[in-house]
Amino acid sequence: KAGVTQTPRYLIKTRGQQVTLSCSPISGHRSVSWYQQTPGQGLQFLFEYFSETQRNKGNFPGRFSGRQFSNSRSEMNVSTLELGDSALYLCASSLTGIVEQYFGPGTRLTVT
């Protein structure tokens, strides 16, 4: 079975721009979660989507949003980018969300 894929792998954006990251979960997995990893804050939960509905949300500003499509693929959008948004964004898929989550390779976003 193919693993979790994320595109693009690397991205460089300028402050004030917006960005969209994509995640394709493992086939059959309906839960997709997003995490932000930075050296200062570590791994932090952004949100989870299950069957096209946001089911869980972390403590991030409204500039961070996401959605999930009927094929379980998910996108994450960050608007009005700030320097502090530079991070590795990891997507994880799971059958139900409660059990183990399998992570993709991540998208490394650099904001200049």
* φ and ψ of 85, to 5 deg: -80, -5
Site string for other proteins, 33-72 (x = CB under 8 A): x-x------xx-x--x-x----xx-x--------------
Candidate segments 17-25, 27-35, 69-77, 78-86, binder of other proteins by CB under 8 A: 27-35
For residue 51, the surrounding DSSP H or E stretch is none
Residue 14 or 99 having the CB closest to other proteins: 99
CA distance 92 to 52: 15
Q: Smallest gap, in angstroms, from Cβ of residue 45 to other proteins?
A: 5
Q: Is 56 in contact with 47 (CB distance < 8 Å)? A: yes
Q: Smallest gap, in angstroms, from Cβ of residue 104 to other proteins?
A: 7
Number of residues that bind other proteins (CB under 8 A): 26
Residues 6+ apart with CB under 8 A from 47: 33, 34, 54, 56, 57, 58, 60, 64, 66
Q: Using CB under 8 A as the criterion, which residues of the chain lie in contact with other proteins when the complex forms?
A: 31, 33, 35, 42-43, 45, 48, 50, 55-56, 58, 88, 90, 92, 94, 97-106, 108
